Amino acid sequence: ATPAATMVGTTIGAQNGVLFKGGDILERAKDVDTVVFDKTGTLTEGEMELTDVVVFDGKAGARSGGGDADAAPDGGQLAERERLDEDDVLRFAATAESGSEHPLAQAIVEGAEERGIEVGSPESFENVPGHGIRATVDVSGDAGGTSDSSDGGGEVLVGNRKLLRENGVDPDPAAETMERLESEGKTAMLVAYEGELVGVVADADTVKESAKSAVSQLRGRGIDVMMLTGDNERTARAVAEQVGIDPDNVRAEVLPADKSDAVEAIQDEGRQAMMVGDGVNDAPALAVAYVGTAIGSGTDVAIEAADVTLMRDDPVDVVKAIRISDATLQKIK
Ligand code: ADP
Ligand code: MG
């Protein structure tokens, strides 16, 4: 393209909230044949809300919070306590998660507080990236650690199946509950206390209003649309379905550190991929993509790694970026 054409394209982009980092990027965008969207915060609002709390009494299986009296504890450590109810499970989870800044964690803490549960601080806390968290929590009921319980609290796990398995807790009794919540597009997390499964909590996110239209416009241009996420397969597919992405084009359970490898694998198939993401997690993937696009309220790290920045938080602007590139370069041919 001539420098003048490039300048026109770049200016039109800027007027539309699409910032190209240079003339070469503007030229490249028209050749994108695959758009890979991050899920959380890119296709969805990224504002989680706590939606479900389910109690498990050890091996007794799921129990509703209605307080029916026939499901007894299974004789494990918790048998000595009164039977757990939803608030107990939520208090364990929220106290443990108050050590985390993950949006999933914040939703659990806020949800607990909204239900009037006093959320304390964990005595120790460890983040297990892509899997969940492990914390030591005083469950005496005195939130805030005012009790001087001598046992120093119990170990709480909150996270996915793999987190529990790797810590010697069988997640299978919760399989049906997990699957039901996940097929609703929710992120379901298992809660374990002292090596026993005690419950499931679920967070839901809202799909952005224009996500579906963005996907259909891209597909209308003959562009393949994919989704990349650390979330589990079933939740990812449910969200993909809501926005019109083919379930075969979903890459789920991708660890933060593996997102860039996933983009490279897609490009190794000979594709020219645009990766669209918002988070720190996405920065390496944005950097390796043929075109990396940071969206809206994205983190500085993502914006720095990207070739294109979409100023508004709107997935339809991905189509705009490609269209501007296309139009600019066609005119000057
Ligand atoms: P995403 O790509 O959606 O941001 P992550 O890679 O951060 O997801 O996490 C992947 C999965 O690990 C989550 O879907 C969840 O099951 C689990 N997980 C991560 N962080 C937490 C947490 N703080 N509490 C509970 N579960 C978590
Ligand atoms: Mg994200």
Q: How many domains does the chain have?
A: 2
| 127 CA: nearest ligand 1 atom | 23
Whether residues 189 and 56 fall in one domain: yes
Q: What is the pLDDT of residue 122?
A: 96
Whether residues 144 and 255 fall in one domain: no
Q: Is the CB of 5 under 6 A from ligand 1?
A: no
Distance 164 CA to ligand 2 centre (A): 24
Q: Is the CB of 230 under 6 A from ligand 1?
A: yes
Domain C-terminal end among 152, 179, 204: 204
Distance 268 CA to ligand 2 centre (A): 23
Distance 104 CA to ligand 1 centre (A): 7
Q: What is the pLDDT of residue 225?
A: 98
Whether residues 35 and 79 fall in one domain: no
Q: 180 lies in which domain range?
A: 49-204
Q: What is the CATH number of the domain that holds 138?
A: 3.40.1110.10
Whether residues 197 and 226 fall in one domain: no
| 279 CA: nearest ligand 1 atom | 4
Whether residues 55 and 197 fall in one domain: yes
Q: Whole-angstrom Cα distance, residue 306 to residue 315?
A: 15
Whether residues 171 and 315 fall in one domain: no
Whether residues 162 and 260 fall in one domain: no
Whether residues 140 and 24 fall in one domain: no
Whether residues 54 and 200 fall in one domain: yes
Q: Three-state SS for 131? A: coil
This prediction's pTM: 0.83
State which of 45, 53, 131, 162 you would mutate to test the pocket of ligand 1, scoring each by most atoms of that ligand within 8 A of its C-beta: 131
CA 164 and chain centroid, separation: 19
Distance 304 CA to ligand 1 centre (A): 24
State which of 160, 253, 286 you would mutate to test the pocket of ligand 1, scoring each by most atoms of that ligand within 8 A of its C-beta: 160
- Summarised one tens digit per residue, pLDDT across range 103-146 is 999 999 999 999 999 999 999 999 998 899 999 998 775 544 44
| 229 CA: nearest ligand 1 atom | 2
Whether residues 285 and 255 fall in one domain: yes
Whether residues 109 and 213 fall in one domain: no
Q: Phi/psi of residue 157, each to 5°?
A: -115, 135
Q: What is the pLDDT of residue 331?
A: 57
| Residue recorded with tokens 């501007």 | 324
Q: Is the CB of 61 under 6 A from ligand 1?
A: no
Q: What is the CATH number of the domain that holds 239?
A: 3.40.50.1000
Domain C-terminal end among 156, 182, 204: 204
**What are the E-state strand segments in 2-153?**
18-20, 34-38, 49-56, 62-63, 124-128, 132-137
Query: Which ranges of the chain have pLDDT less than 50?
Result: 59-61, 64-76, 79-80, 143-150, 333
**Is-catalytic flag, 38?**
yes
Domain C-terminal end among 204, 226, 241: 204
Give the dihedral of Cα atoms 60, 168, 82, 56; nearest 10 deg: -40
Q: What is the pLDDT of residue 68?
A: 37
Whether residues 59 and 69 fall in one domain: yes
Q: What is the pLDDT of residue 218?
A: 98
Q: What is the pLDDT of residue 153?
A: 83
Q: What is the pLDDT of residue 273?
A: 98
Distance 67 CA to ligand 2 centre (A): 38
Q: 171-200 as b/e, with b when 16 or more CB fall inside 10 Å?
A: bebbeebbebbbeebbbbbbbbbbebbbbb
Whether ipTM > 0.90 holds is: yes
